[in-house]
Amino acid sequence: MRIEKFEDILSWQKSKSLAVFICKILKDNKDYGFKDQMQRAAVSISNNIAEGYERKSNKEFKQFLYVAKGSCGEVRSMSYIGLELGYTGKDSFQKIYSDSIEISKLLSGLIKVL
C-alpha cells in the first residue's frame, strides 16, 4: 500500500486511538498535572508522526518518528505511575502498555525503511 497522507500510516492510526482512549479514561481525573502530562505525551505520538510526514523529507520525518517513540516511552512510564496511584485499572494499564509497545515497534520499522 502506498502512503499518500499521514492518515494512511498504521502507527498514526493506532497512536490516535491510544490518545483518545487515554483522554477518555482520564476525563474525570482531578490530578490535573498528571492528566495533562499523560494526555500531552499520548497526543504527541500521533502529532509527531503527522508533522514529520508533512515535512516531505525522509531525514526530518525520521527525526519526528524518534520523538514519537520517545513519547511512547513517556506514556508507558506514566501508565505505571497511574496504575500505582489508582488512576487506571489493570485492564486500562495493560491496554496502554501493549498499545504503546506495538506503536513503538511500528515506528522502529518505519524508521528502518526510511
Classify residue 2: in a domain, yes or no. Answer: no
pLDDT of residue 1: 66
Determine the average pLDDT of the residues in 60-68: 98
Q: Where are the alpha helices (DSSP H) in 26-89?
A: 32-54, 58-84
What the block records as the C-alpha cell of 35 is 492528566
What the block records as the C-alpha cell of 22 is 487515554
pLDDT, tens only, 7-37? 999 999 999 999 999 999 999 999 999 999 9
pLDDT of residue 2: 83
Q: What is the number of structural domains in the chain?
A: 1
**Residues for the chain: how many in total?**
114
Q: Name the residue range of residue 32's domain.
A: 7-113
Classify residue 45: in a domain, yes or no. Answer: yes
Q: What percent of the chain clears pLDDT 90, i.e. is strictly above it?
A: 96
**Averaged pLDDT score across all residues of the chain:** 97
pLDDT, tens only, 68-81? 999 999 999 999 99
Q: What is the CATH number of the domain that holds 22?
A: 1.20.1440.60
Classify residue 26: in a domain, yes or no. Answer: yes
